[in-house]
Amino acid sequence: MKCLRNSIRALTLAIFLAVAILPVANANERGTESGDDAAVILDLVVLRPVGFVATAGGIVVFIVSLPISVPTLSVGKAFNALVTTPAHYTFVRELGQER
């Protein structure tokens, strides 16, 4: 009788733990949902200013790279990599989204 009672307790505990862990297993790897308040605040306070600096720095590096990229006909590729990508990250995407 004592063995059966311990088995029922162990089974009940196992079922409880399995049900309690399911919502955690469905979370994404960062632990936040899209549009989460913390993600929006982090994006607005940290990531957007860093993106703005990256865009400005990309413009400077693009201008400096023009003597190299014009003869090699890679001006469009350099512009996309150095200016368009950081500008899109900073100004176009929604708040709180990764990309």
pLDDT at 8: 72
Sorting pLDDT into bands at 50, 70 and 90, what band is 18?
low
Tokens of 79: 């512009």
Choose between 38 and 57: higher pLDDT.
57
Q: Which residue has the higher pLDDT, 57 or 94?
A: 57
C-alpha 93, offset from chain centre: 12
Which of the residue ranges 17-26, 28-37, 85-94 has the most confident prediction, judged by mean pLDDT?
85-94
Residue 27: pLDDT band with limits 50, 70, 90: low
Q: How far apart are CA 90 and CA 53, in angstroms?
A: 9
Give 82: exposed, middle or buried? Use CB within 10 Å, 0-12, 13-18, 19+: buried
Tokens standing for residue 97: 């989204």
